[in-house]
Chain A
Amino acid sequence: MAVSKEFKQKANKALNDENLRRALTKFGNDYPAARERAYAGKDVEALRDYISAAKRKAAENIDELVARFAREAEKRGAKVFYARTADEANEYIARVARENGVKTVVKSKSMASEEIHLNRHLQEKGIEVTETDLGEWIIQLMGQKPSHMVMPAIHLTRKEVAKTFSKHLNEEMPEDPYKLTKVARRELRKKFLNADMGISGANMAVAENGALVLMTNEGNARLTTTLPPIHVALVGIEKFVDNMETVTKILEALPRSATGQIITSYVTMIDGTTPTWKDGKVVDKDLHIVILDNGRSELIKDPVFKEAAQCIRCASCLNVCPVYQLVGGHVYGHIYAGGIGTILTAFLNGEDEAFDPQNLCISCGKCATICPGRIDIPKLVKELRQRLTEKKGLSFGENFVLKNIVSKPRTFHKWLRRAKTLQKPFAEEGYIRHLPLSFSKYTEHRSLPAIAEKPLRDLVPEVKKEVVKPKAKAAFYAGCVIDFCYPEVGTAVFETLQDRGIEMEFPEGQSCCGAPAAYMGDRQTAREMAKQNIEALETDADYVVTACPTCAHALKHDFIELLKDDSEWKERAEKLAGKVKDYSELMNELQSEEASSSNAGETLKVTYHDSCHYNRSLGLSDKPRNLLKQKDDVELVEMNESDRCCGFGGSYTVKFPEISAEIMKRKIKNIEDSGADIVAMDCPGCMIQLKGGLDKAGSNVKVMHTAEILAGRAKNK
């Protein structure tokens, strides 16, 4: 199933919202340094280990934790209600309100209440509900939904806020955040003092003592839980932790990861009923704790998705997401934004709602490197995509291409050769710079690579060299892009490895690694392609060398995962995986015997782009840098944000060409600002994107695979 047209339009509209862009860019730029400062002196990785393990354990024992929590809280005077669904939660809260004659409610921020549309439910019963978190209140007055879990109104400007307040209060408001905040204090204080009921969420619920933990900067949760005589806390079951030690660990991570603060202004712990003021005297507060399931136990019991229960709702995954930074939270539809949001939406709100937004994930993997709960969000999104595709099927076009062309090597290669002829009217200097009609959007921001005159497989006889006393034998797995678009990378791999004493071969039966099918959600096709390649690569070579990280990941990991239910094939996949070696990794292990050929001191400035899959999935970013530094004619200069995605993401460029282009623009700026002559990388996918983008931008910076530079081709460029 393809992304809906409406969704693409919504994404593009958000992409062109200047205010949104300004706010998100500013925050996105400030965030990494703020986070780093906040974590200074902390062992972040140990903290992530602790939290992920504690949350995993809590999820595994959720029934016991909830029961213990309920016992402890009831012992301290709380009334505990377990709501299986949104309706049950809404009805319970409405009943408490009705039985106590509640007319007005103040709320402190609760995403769970947004999720179940609690406000609407209470308002329909004639109850006035006021959000008291400043951002939430603004959103409420505007009739919108939050666009970020921690900063709900990040998409709005002071001008819009002033306009909203002016309209609501019937008085002219200055466009000054300080003055607007004072007005909010004045207005909301009245609401607090008159409210009959306070509704809050909770950041944590503690099983060992029945305590609720709430964090705010504004202090509105304190007033919500102190002033009205009734307090209702709505807590999702994913918020439960075993004990106070875990609480302190999450308190360490949550504000640091969320906004780069070392702690929020207020941390409130409520453990049972407390004194309150009612009708002129101090009485015990009526405390209700509504425990919300609403799809969560299904998520927690799922063998793959249970990982999502390790989320502590810091939203740091959004803060570093290159896509979220461009489109903001509203595009994701329901309540929860970003990659983690689409997973939550699928379980809490329904798979249909999650289908379009899950496509926004470009699989760069940045979020997984910083998540305090160590959730591999892109992996979960990919799993969701595959499950949805298995249920709904691919679109006609996707299905046709994957099933009838890409998965059939003969047909695929024949098509590629035919495409070479068909591209003639458009191809120049190795690029397709313009395409006609509805295809034009694909060449608007970057030129496309032309199919090479001769694929690598045809060039092998020319570059294959007899190696005397070889150190080892390697089979080269080229992958589609090197084989058909950039065969020069393949010949460079052959030349340099042969120079270092490796006997090279090119197994003819190799075909596409199946990653495109897997990323599009078509596991069946990916499985067939895995088998084809395993057969082709079962040679007597010591290594199977790749120069593409996506292919390497497929060969090393995906094949085993895809074939895990077939013991014979799984074993063959594992054997292959054991031989797979990345090109730069292998080059690093081989001593260079050639005397460095320095050319009268003339050096080229090279900057290195960390391809997401190369850097994060393979963890090899230091290898090519080592190789480049060893070359006398290369001066390695680091660019800013070298590990930031280039915007390629395979089929992403077709699904969301405009978003892809925006991500690329930032990369191109970083490349140009580095002052380098050449940008090196180890991923043919990134090469497509950046060659195309730099060509379109008229830049003089050349894009090269590390292999090409090592083969001494930089000077000829």
Chain B
Amino acid sequence: MDEKLVSQFKEKAQAVSAEVIRAKTCEEAYQNVLDIVAEAKVKEVGCVASGLTKSLLPRLKDSNVNVVEEGAPEDLERLEIGIIPVDVGIAETGTVAHDATNLFARYFSMLCPTNIVLLKTKDIEENMLQAIKKLEQKGTLPAYTAFITGPSRTADIERVLTIGVHGPGRLVIILVDEEDC
């Protein structure tokens, strides 16, 4: 793990209003998610169970949080928090990116006012080209690739920066140091 990349990633992500939390273990990362959910006082979250979030699901359920894994967009958009795993981070811009071909992963990341993403710290790359190479591991780009840098924003009215226009107003990135979860 290149600490220089990690700190650059963190600095750039925070500069565009993303929240960055670093967890040593998967367990710690899940606890971070539970804390955010508890703080937001929601009883229900959207979450796809794959990779980093697979073992998160039972933990959420244990804490009496109902997990919605799929459904119609008009139902999913009522959820306050969407949680997804992401594949790669980009230090130069503080970006996270993921193969977003899975429709529900896309919904949770686009529709919910708060988006929590989990990223393995080791998956932070230096720049966009390296990130694309990583995403192209199946030989070509995924059908839908999403690069996300901070929350949704606009400055269309008198160039006043306003967060959370069409997408999430809050983006929380949890970096997980532990490599096998």
CA distance A194 to B110 in the complex (A): 16
Is the Cβ of B141 less than 8 Å from the Cβ of A211? yes
CA distance A182 to B162 in the complex (A): 9
From 135 to 167 in chain B, residues with beta carbon under 8 angstroms from any chain A beta carbon are 136, 140-160, 162, 164-167
Stretch at the interface among B44-52, B80-88, B126-134: B126-134
From 536 to 581 in chain A, residues with beta carbon under 8 angstroms from any chain B beta carbon are none
Is the Cβ of A219 less than 8 Å from the Cβ of B167? yes
CA distance A134 to B154 in the complex (A): 8
CA distance A217 to B160 in the complex (A): 13
Is the Cβ of B145 less than 8 Å from the Cβ of A263? no
Q: How far is the CB of B169 from chain A (nearest CB, A)?
A: 9
Whether A218 contacts B152 in the complex (CB less than 8 A), given A184-B165, A193-B73, A193-B74, comes out as yes
CA distance A334 to B9 in the complex (A): 42
Is the Cβ of B156 less than 8 Å from the Cβ of A153? yes
Is the Cβ of B159 less than 8 Å from the Cβ of A219? no
Is the Cβ of B166 less than 8 Å from the Cβ of A219? yes
B53 within 8 A of A: no
Q: Mark A163-204, 1 if CB is under 8 A from B, else 0.
A: 000000000000001101110110011001100000000000
Is the Cβ of A275 less than 8 Å from the Cβ of B145? no
CA distance A23 to B158 in the complex (A): 7
Determine the chain A residues whose CB is within 8 A of the CB of B144 once the complex forms: 225-226, 268-271, 274
Stretch at the interface among A244-252, A629-637, A668-676: A244-252
B21 within 8 A of A: no
Q: How far is the CB of B166 from chain A (nearest CB, A)?
A: 4
Residue of B16, B92, B160, B166 with most partner-chain A CB within 10 A: B166
A90 within 8 A of B: no
Is the Cβ of A251 less than 8 Å from the Cβ of B157? no
CA distance A251 to B153 in the complex (A): 18
Determine the chain B residues whose CB is within 8 A of the CB of A443 once the complex forms: none
Determine the chain B residues whose CB is within 8 A of the CB of A223 once the complex forms: 110-111, 166-167
Q: How many A-B residue pairs have CB under 8 A?
A: 161
Is the Cβ of A222 less than 8 Å from the Cβ of B146? yes
Determine the chain B residues whose CB is within 8 A of the CB of A192 once the complex forms: 166
Whether A251 contacts B128 in the complex (CB less than 8 A), given A27-B159, A154-B159, comes out as yes
Is the Cβ of A217 less than 8 Å from the Cβ of B72? no
Is the Cβ of A134 less than 8 Å from the Cβ of B159? no
Is the Cβ of B110 less than 8 Å from the Cβ of A222? yes
Closest B residue to A157 by CB, please name it. B158
CA distance A393 to B145 in the complex (A): 53
A158 within 8 A of B: yes
A642 within 8 A of B: no
Closest A residue to B109 by CB, please name it. A222
Residue of A23, A153, A217, A259 with most partner-chain B CB within 10 A: A217
Is the Cβ of A23 less than 8 Å from the Cβ of B159? yes
Is the Cβ of B167 less than 8 Å from the Cβ of A266? yes
Determine the chain A residues whose CB is within 8 A of the CB of B153 once the complex forms: 217-218, 265
A26 within 8 A of B: yes
Closest B residue to A252 by CB, please name it. B128
CA distance A282 to B91 in the complex (A): 35
Is the Cβ of B157 less than 8 Å from the Cβ of A158? yes
Q: How far is the CB of A607 from chain B (nearest CB, A)?
A: 31
From 69 to 118 in chain B, residues with beta carbon under 8 angstroms from any chain A beta carbon are 72-74, 77, 92-93, 95, 101-103, 106-107, 110-111
CA distance A177 to B154 in the complex (A): 10
Determine the chain B residues whose CB is within 8 A of the CB of A217 once the complex forms: 152-155
Q: How far is the CB of B107 from chain A (nearest CB, A)?
A: 8
Determine the chain A residues whose CB is within 8 A of the CB of B74 once the complex forms: 193
B12 within 8 A of A: yes
Is the Cβ of B162 less than 8 Å from the Cβ of A209? no
Determine the chain B residues whose CB is within 8 A of the CB of A220 once the complex forms: 165-166
Whether A272 contacts B146 in the complex (CB less than 8 A), given A227-B73, A263-B95, comes out as no
A650 within 8 A of B: no
A389 within 8 A of B: no
CA distance A280 to B110 in the complex (A): 19
Is the Cβ of A245 less than 8 Å from the Cβ of B129? yes
CA distance A195 to B114 in the complex (A): 24
Q: How far is the CB of A405 from chain B (nearest CB, A)?
A: 49
Is the Cβ of A218 less than 8 Å from the Cβ of B167? yes
Closest B residue to A185 by CB, please name it. B165
A161 within 8 A of B: yes
- Select which of B132, B145, B162 is within 8 A of A248 by beta carbon: B132
A649 within 8 A of B: no
A138 within 8 A of B: yes
Is the Cβ of B160 less than 8 Å from the Cβ of A219? no
A683 within 8 A of B: no
CA distance A244 to B128 in the complex (A): 10
Is the Cβ of B156 less than 8 Å from the Cβ of A274? no
CA distance A209 to B140 in the complex (A): 7
Is the Cβ of A181 less than 8 Å from the Cβ of B128? no
Residue of B74, B132, B155 with most partner-chain A CB within 10 A: B155
Q: Mark A234-270, 1 if CB is under 8 A from B, else 0.
A: 0000000000110110011000000100111111111
CA distance A138 to B165 in the complex (A): 14
- Select which of A133, A178, A259, A271 is within 8 A of B142 by beta carbon: A271
CA distance A132 to B167 in the complex (A): 12
Is the Cβ of A222 less than 8 Å from the Cβ of B156? no
Is the Cβ of A262 less than 8 Å from the Cβ of B152? no
Determine the chain B residues whose CB is within 8 A of the CB of A153 once the complex forms: 156-157
Is the Cβ of A177 less than 8 Å from the Cβ of B128? no
User: Given known contacts A76-B143, A138-B157, A251-B128, what 13 new A-B pairs fall within 8 Å (CB)?
Assistant: A151-B159, A156-B157, A158-B158, A209-B140, A211-B141, A217-B152, A218-B156, A226-B110, A245-B129, A262-B93, A265-B167, A268-B146, A274-B143
Contact surface of A with B, Cβ cutoff 8 Å: 23, 26-27, 76, 132-135, 138, 151-154, 156-158, 161, 177-178, 180-182, 184-185, 188-189, 192-193, 209, 211, 217-220, 222-223, 225-227, 244-245, 247-248, 251-252, 259, 262-277, 280, 282
8 A-B contacts (beta carbon < 8 Å): A153-B157, A218-B166, A248-B129, A265-B152, A265-B167, A268-B144, A274-B143, A277-B72
